[in-house]
Amino acid sequence: MTQNVLITGANRGIGLEFCQQYLAAGARVFACCRTPQQATELNALANDYRQLTVLPLDIASHQQAADIVTQLNGVTLDVLINNAGIYGAKGASLEAIDAEEWLHVLHIDAIAPVLLTRTLQPLLGNGSKVAFVSSKMGSIADNQSGGSYMYRSAKAALNAAVKSLAIDWHEHGIRIALLHPGWVKTDMGGPNALISTDQSVAGMKNVIDSLSANDNGQFINYDGAPIPW
């Protein structure tokens, strides 16, 4: 049976690789990004795969999310991947952080993905899987180096909110997990990162494919290992 998969932040990096790997596996993919007209690689992929649909979505826009629900009326998503996110100013010291930018990072990385998922709930059914791309930098137990106040706090907030969502939606049969992609060679991860997008996404896809009720609400590394909160 063909899987229906919706991916946010699908125009580059991890999101684009998710599109490629799910398409290669025969899935029908709804690829979302803020400016489809500028998504050169994604549009090229759409020319090669008829089962790829590119949709405009700013994850902070409730109206655009509602429009997707209307457009996909009658479609049940087997997989929803909340991948879109931002880092904020890299290397910013506590003294240099602007409060408005910090709030923006918190909004995009923690609040927007959860509210987007709430809006998309009519497209989810018993057995649907929802993956949130988080980061080990959101693990309080793992923090041994300090810094990165905006990104760390946003991902920690995402982890807390998604844990609650997994509990609250458990009765609907929706399996929800937080995934750490590893340190990946992307625009965000930089050229010194340890693994490729192909390695990261292949691992996370395996985790998503094998999610069971026992994994609901868990924080999982791309290789399947649990991550401490």
CATH code of residue 154: 3.40.50.720
Q: What rounded mean pLDDT belongs to the chain?
A: 96
62 part of a folded domain = yes
The pLDDT of residue 90 is: 87
Q: Which amino acid is at 55?
A: L
**Is position 203 within any domain?**
yes
Give residue 184's pLDDT.
Answer: 85
Nearest CA to 110 among 150, 147, 81, 77? 150
Q: Which residues share a beta bridge with 53?
A: 30
The confidence score (pLDDT) of residue 189 equals 66
Q: Which residues pair with 221 in a beta bridge?
A: 180
pLDDT score, position 1: 83
DSSP three-state, residue 163: helix
Q: Tens digit of pLDDT per residue, the chain (229 long)?
A: 899 999 999 999 999 999 999 999 999 999 999 999 999 999 999 999 999 999 999 999 999 999 999 999 999 999 999 999 999 998 899 999 999 999 999 999 999 999 999 999 999 999 999 999 999 999 999 999 999 999 999 999 999 999 999 999 999 999 999 999 998 877 666 676 678 999 999 999 999 999 999 999 999 999 999 999 9
CB atoms within 10 A of CB 68: 20
Give the pLDDT of residue 15.
Answer: 97
- Structural domain total, the chain: 1
For 111-145, give the secondary structure using H, E and C: HHHHHHHHHCHHHEEEEEEEEEECCHHHCCCCCCC
Does residue 84 contact residue 8 with C-beta atoms inside 8 Å? Answer: yes
Does residue 165 lie in a domain region? yes
The verdict on residue 151 lying in a domain is yes
| Residue 36 CA to its chain's centroid (Å) | 18
Helix, strand, or coil here: 179?
Answer: strand
Residues 6 or more apart whose Cβ sits within 8 Å of residue 96: 89
Q: What DSSP character marks residue 33?
A: E
Q: Is residue 229 part of a domain?
A: no
Q: Is 227 within the bounds of a domain?
A: no
Please report, as a single letter, which amino acid is at residue 115. L
Domain contains 226: no
The secondary structure of residue 109, as a DSSP letter, is: I
Whether 30 maps to a domain, the answer reads yes
Domain range spanning residue 160? Answer: 4-221
**Measured distance CA(23)–CA(20) in Å, rounded:** 5
DSSP tag of 6: E
